[in-house]
Chain A
């Protein structure tokens, strides 16, 4: 999506018609809009979200009051008054014109208007011959969904001061789902789910056409699936609770980190918890290695007696002189055939000489045994060495596990000591915090255990349904239709299983990739030794580089983290979409960013870094900010600005002071007193 222009008609502070055009060139892709507080920056941001999906950001006050107040109050009671927003954009080489209009009727009681019908939403696209063609009403949301999916709206049009909310725990599911939409995960998930649902349809059909036993099996499976469904819902609830308790723990720990009396203990506890996690992970990995070793080479100790016995036999053959044999069988055979010995004596059958040479033939037969014995002995010795190595390796792994166990025990001991100290601290607030932390942790452990038990039950039931699936497939079909239906069920279930495996791999690859991108962008903007991590659960966290301990990031740092997240999502989506064989993701890699107060909470130093970074990542950026917010960024943006505007605001507030802004050597009126008591904003282009 490439934004071209935005027309506002009697929308909020903007009286009559005003038009903004946006920069979109490859080098100059930034549009800057300066405005004082209350001048309509947030209204402009919401003009985009309203025209696209009829939505508003949380920052917009009284979102129902869209019609310009001055126009409304000047209209006679009973008249109809319109407000509208029209957005012109390019997408996938087609130009679109999208317009949303609201009509209200002027009344004589506050708020002096009432809604007349639904908003009118019209989408036109440039057809051949340069004429606008109007899309069917039913197709508007389809087309817009292709341009910018509704789920992603607030990632591309956002209020910078509230951007930290993207990281709120209750938004995490939304975040995961939105990013998944751009990488194709959602398509995989939907495909797998729908194939499962269609398998159920076929099963229902089979139930009606099959024999009594097959029907009974299907009924049993349906009951199990119902139980699995309710267990799944229970797990979702546990997950929500777990996240809540984790956030609670984080907040209490943060508080303890802030208090001078507990700072060092809490920091030590953070380190210990991080180490505890690492050690537990190591122990898990060592246990897996033991399991693998035993399953791959565990047979060797059982072979040991046979190895020893075989080596003993070979040894005996050597000791008895039966091997090695220096005489080769073909040589002795040729002597007997020629009937002449090596010493030139004649060899006549029945004579003692012949018998003596024939005796050598029996001995020479041992040479093949010798060859076998040599090779067998080599194999046996190798197996014996492997058996020794197996024990050595097993002992090493076990002693590593023991060392970890001891370390874990010490960590837990020290954690208990810290908890004990804080529990008996002289300060009441510290005791209370520690008690709350303990209760929180107990609740967390309880929730995790309940979730695990439900997951185990689901696994058990899943195995049972697979067993039933097998039984249904094994039953002999009584008709061709039954056979066909069974085959269709099998194909659906197999396809579903394949897609679930693909999805798991796919999701992991993309999440890791996104995490790396976010961290790279985050580090480019932040001057501290912090790392941004997007974990398995799509939780964004700031950690210290060296220790990987989570850091209680400041509001500004969290804002940077969210900006890095959005930039990472855009960068990843651009790469996915640009692939020639892309089958899973949307079809355009152009994503604009419209940001109201993007540098709101950021320190002066960071503003420049953000201003440098974002325009190089998004195809098009629109910044809306106050003069104070633009401090420190205009120099970084200078080379990229293609369009610049000033919102000139007539304020109805009493005693308001005029304010001015200087842009490119000219002075523009930023704020002025309103003459008739109604606010009004004009848009002035900086030339």
Chain B
């Protein structure tokens, strides 16, 4: 069984920011299952906002390299 390799393979094939969002939200969900916390959507939204933030975009709306 190679559950993590299935996930790792998929993360390597996608863009770095999508991979980062997935990793962070998975961690949050795992923690939440253990903790049974509410406010999950707000927390997921915060993660996406943090990963995809204004400093990644140039003034003209172009994405920065790196």
Interface residues of A (CB under 8 A from B): 141-142, 145-146, 149, 181, 183-184, 186-188, 190-191, 194-195, 197-198, 201-202, 477, 480, 483-484, 487-488, 491-492, 494-495, 498-499, 501-502, 505-506, 509-510, 513, 575-576, 579, 581-584, 586-587
Across the interface, which residues of A come within 8 angstroms of B7, CB to CB?
A: 502, 506, 583-584
Interface flags, B22-66, vs A, CB<8A=1, else 0: 100111011001111100110011001101111011010101000
Decide: B41 and A491 in contact? CB cutoff 8 A.
Answer: no
Q: Is the interface of A mostly helix, strand, loop or mixed?
A: helix
Q: How far is the CA of A502 from the CA of B22 in the complex (A)?
A: 11
A204 shortest CB reach to chain B, Å: 11
Given contacts A195-B21, A584-B26, contact A509 B44 (CB under 8 A): no
Given contacts A194-B25, A576-B3, contact A494 B59 (CB under 8 A): no
Q: Is the interface of B mostly helix, strand, loop or mixed?
A: helix
Q: How far is the CA of A186 from the CA of B18 in the complex (A)?
A: 20
Decide: B33 and A583 in contact? CB cutoff 8 A.
Answer: no
Contact of A494 among B18, B27, B36 (CB under 8 A): B18
B59 shortest CB reach to chain A, Å: 7
Decide: A576 and B1 in contact? CB cutoff 8 A.
Answer: yes
Decide: B4 and A499 in contact? CB cutoff 8 A.
Answer: no
Q: How far is the CA of A122 from the CA of B26 in the complex (A)?
A: 31
Decide: B4 and A492 in contact? CB cutoff 8 A.
Answer: no
Given contacts A183-B3, A506-B3, A509-B6, contact A487 B22 (CB under 8 A): no
Decide: B3 and A184 in contact? CB cutoff 8 A.
Answer: yes
Sorted from nearest, which 3 A-B pairs have the closest CB atoms? A483-B61, A146-B34, A142-B35
Across the interface, which residues of A come within 8 angstroms of B1, CB to CB?
A: 509-510, 513, 575-576
Q: How far is the CA of A579 from the CA of B7 in the complex (A)?
A: 15
Decide: B21 and A142 in contact? CB cutoff 8 A.
Answer: no
Q: How far is the CA of A498 from the CA of B15 in the complex (A)?
A: 11
Decide: B21 and A495 in contact? CB cutoff 8 A.
Answer: yes
Across the interface, which residues of A come within 8 angstroms of B63, CB to CB?
A: 487
Contact of A195 among B3, B44, B53 (CB under 8 A): B44
Decide: A583 and B6 in contact? CB cutoff 8 A.
Answer: no
Extra 14 A-B pairs, beta carbons < 8 Å, given A184-B3, A195-B25? A146-B34, A190-B29, A191-B25, A197-B41, A198-B45, A480-B57, A484-B52, A487-B57, A495-B21, A498-B13, A498-B14, A510-B1, A576-B1, A583-B30
Decide: A505 and B6 in contact? CB cutoff 8 A.
Answer: yes
